[in-house]
Amino acid sequence: MTVAGPPLTITPPADHRPPDHPNEPVARSFLRRCRQPFAATKPGRRTGVGATAGDQTLRSPVGRHLRRAALATGLSLALLAGCADPAADPSAPAQDTAVIGLTFVPNIQFAPFYSAQTAGLLPPGVTLRHHGAAEGLFTALALGQEQFVVAGGDEILQARADGADLVAVAAYYRRYPVRIIVPADSPVQGLADLKGRVIGLPGRFGESWFALLLALRQAGLSLDDVTIQEIGYTQQVALTTGKVDATVGFSNGDAVSFEQAGFPVRQLDPQTPLVSVCLATTQSQIDHDPATVRAVVAALAAGLELVVADPDQALEDAAAHIPDFQATADNSRAVLMATIPLFTDSAGKVDPTLDPAAWEAMAQAMAAAGLIPATLEAAAAIDTSFA
């Protein structure tokens, strides 16, 4: 996903663990490869989504806070009722702390986590940690410095193919937001029209790369039929200046930033069977402390509910986490309103459950594209018992 403005300087985790750490070989692999994280979305605007319903009392700051307090109280009671794990060994103590890795610099895309923390819904001892701009997606998790991480389902599968201990436990985005973006007056009307065109994308990694490969296959094209330019996170400049004919970006990021800039574009949905952003942990974490996993998943679901129910309050919550928030408040609002549809299903409801059939379809498509071995089991990459 695309970067929102200049990256902030955040100290990455130390690359040191005791030599007998069980994930050290995997950690070295990720340190070498230094895969980019799923990135924050650029500011965008989408009207008519997530508007607050109700009378003027509920729209007022006092009304919002009253409603927020009632919702948070109800969610807290639900968390208390639902987080007990009867299968867990009562003699095994839960860990004192756990860290959730938010895989880029502070950004409104992480609003559900900010709201969950503000409302006191995160379990005791659970903290949030943002990654640095150049930090590997799973490095801290592999080194034991994080216990949870936010990442694309496709990125999780590819990392598992490299030997990473990763298990998705909840859905974050319900829909895959990658789009092929072309100028509104472009002759490119469909995926097949990309033949002979120059396509720009951040690099040959992550969700944009996976989606492009599968989109080309779907259109009966190969990489030999197009010219790929790795343009970093400069999609807007590259497309508006004609450096590329199309860019690979995100419906809640690049597309809306083009709209804000007054540059008309069209979005081609590759409609690939890829699974978007999830909350993941490790099998060792699940085995050692399933109660914390269950509580974190419940807190995430509650945070999603809070954001969808009251975007205005979600922006207030995020202000404490995003540096210089007031300078970019309008952008953050636009991004949030474009992202809320990704947090919900087709009926507009929050649903953090994982779909095994969707993961199997993704694994087959990625294997056909040569991204993962055909022998990789999608079922082992998810645990549906927590959501």
The alpha helices in 246-345, defined as continuous H runs, are: 254-260, 283-288, 290-309, 311-319, 329-343
pLDDT (tens digit per residue) in 8-38: 222 333 332 222 332 323 333 333 333 333 3
pLDDT higher than threshold 60 for residue 304: yes
pLDDT digit string, tens, across residues 344-355: 999 999 999 999
Question: Whole-prediction pTM value?
Answer: 0.76
CATH topology of domain 24-174+276-381: D-Maltodextrin-Binding Protein; domain 2 (3.40.190)
Give yes or no for a contact between 373 and 159, defined as CB atoms under 8 angstroms apart: no
pLDDT value at position 34? 33
Task: Output the pLDDT for position 19.
Answer: 27
Least confident interval from 94-98, 142-146, 222-226, 256-260? 94-98
Contact 205, 289 (CB under 8 A): no
Banded model confidence at residue 330, pLDDT cuts 50, 70, 90: confident
Average pLDDT over residues 226-238: 95
The DSSP secondary-structure symbol of 382 reads: B
283 against 32, higher pLDDT: 283
* Nearest by Cα to 12 from 123, 167, 146, 205: 146
CA dihedral 355, 356, 357, 360 (to 10 degrees): 130
Tokens for 124?
């005791």
Q: Which helix (H) or strand (E) holds 381?
A: none
CATH of domain 178-268: 3.40.190.10
- What does the domain layout of the chain look like in residue ranges? 24-174+276-381, 178-268
